[in-house]
Amino acid sequence: MLQKQKQVKMAEIVFNNPEYLWLLLSIPLLIISHFFLLRHTRSKGMRFANFQTMKRIDGKDLMTKNYLVLGLRLSVLLCAILAISGSVYWYEGLSNTNDFIIAMDVSASMSTQDLEPTRLDSAKTIAKTFVDSLNTDSYIGIVTFSGVSFVELAPTKNKYLIKKALDEIEIQHAGGTDIPGAIITSTNLMLNSPKGKTIILITDGSSTVGRFLQDSIQESINYGKKFQVIIHTIGVGSDSNPIGYLPEYYNITGVYNEENLIKISNSTNGMYFQALNNEELITAYDKISQNANKAMLKVELSYGLMILAVLLLFIEWGAINTRFRKIP
């Protein structure tokens, strides 16, 4: 049975230099100092003129609180702080230049034969079909993982090398399935890419490496989200078939844990698929191929905010030299 969670479009503002956000504490100081200095100016002015009498004659309060000037100054300060904090607006959009990492589980449980001829062989064959079907200007890399993660191929456009690397993948009988390590390794391969970043994680979902398994999975999710990586997860097989490299009379099944995979895909705006047979695995790849141009795109806000701050500064300068000019 093929499953996919409901997709929710993501949008968020990220700060590349969040340490400068501490400067936001200066905003209330600006407000306090504005009214303190205004009160001081009013007290000083009262020594030389009876403004209350002049107000009754003229009908105007000659000592205004200058709310417009205060608002302009606050806006200038806020824009400047957000600009130096490296504000970036990320949103889900379409791009024809996404990069992909295929992260494939090669632990012993992937030799289970509920997919023909085995989970791993089926995943390799259909992954090659996916590579051929991509029409985007994409770099594709290959990562394998069992107890540890390995980079089988750095991202490249050469489809021959990609398929050759997939063909050479073999089961590793070392214990463990390091899903968090696979996510972090795959993310690191795309750190310098200016394109959309997508990981296709193919596994039976049995994360067995790490002292605190759920904590390590969450940490890897947070790491991927930090760099706006979309992670599609494909869970292959079921929990009712014996592990392929053990005799059937051992009655030990290939454990399938979809909870981790759903969590990973939901958290990164990816898709989750459960593939119990070859046909469903093909369908999963087809769905991913159809959404291959989906990516997290960014808009740099810092430059616009700095320009806005300068414009507001000129407006504030004009205001205090015309309408709000101090009385000598």
> In terms of Cα–Cα distance, which of 291, 117, 123 is closest to 205?
123
pLDDT tens for residues 25-41? 888 888 888 777 766 66
Exposed / middle / buried, residue 61 (Cβ in 10 Å: 0-12, 13-18, 19+): exposed
SS3 content of the chain, % helix, strand, coil (to 5): 45, 20, 35
Q: Is residue 127 a contact partner of residue 106, using CB atoms and an 8 Å limit?
A: no
The overall average pLDDT reported for the chain is 77
b/e per residue, 297-319, with b = 16+ CB within 10 A?
eeeebbeebeebbeebbeebeeb
In the chain, DSSP assigns E strands to 11-15, 87-94, 99-105, 140-145, 149-156, 197-203, 229-236, 272-275, 294-300
CATH 3.40.50.410 intervals, the chain: 94-296
Q: Is residue 31 a contact partner of residue 74, using CB atoms and an 8 Å limit?
A: yes
Strands 229-236 and 197-203: parallel
pLDDT tens for residues 225-244? 888 899 999 988 776 555 54
**Total number of residues shown for the chain:** 328
Average pLDDT (287-310) is: 78
Q: Is residue 171 a contact partner of residue 144, using CB atoms and an 8 Å limit?
A: no
> In terms of Cα–Cα distance, which of 306, 231, 269 is closest to 11?
269
Is residue 203 pLDDT above 80, yes or no?
yes
Spatial CB neighbours of 1, under 8 Å, sequence gap ≥ 6: 274, 276, 280
What's the CATH fold of domain 94-296?
Rossmann fold (3.40.50)
pLDDT at 162: 94
CA dist., res. 155 & res. 167, Å (int): 16
CA dist., res. 200 & res. 145, Å (int): 13
Residue with tokens 């990320």: 90
> In terms of Cα–Cα distance, which of 291, 282, 287, 292 is closest to 123?
282
pLDDT at 237: 79
By three-state DSSP, how is residue 310 classified? helix
- Across 51-65, 84-98, 165-179, which has the greatest mean pLDDT? 165-179
φ, ψ for residue 60, nearest 5 deg: -125, 150
Q: Is residue 102 a contact partner of residue 134, using CB atoms and an 8 Å limit?
A: no
Q: Is residue 189 a contact partner of residue 101, using CB atoms and an 8 Å limit?
A: yes
pLDDT tens for residues 163-194? 999 999 998 876 678 899 999 999 999 988 87
pLDDT tens for residues 275-291? 888 888 888 888 888 77
CA dist., res. 231 & res. 261, Å (int): 10
φ, ψ for residue 257, nearest 5 deg: -120, 100
Grade residue 42 by pLDDT with cuts at 50, 70 and 90: low
Spatial CB neighbours of 300, under 8 Å, sequence gap ≥ 6: 87, 88
pLDDT at 243: 52
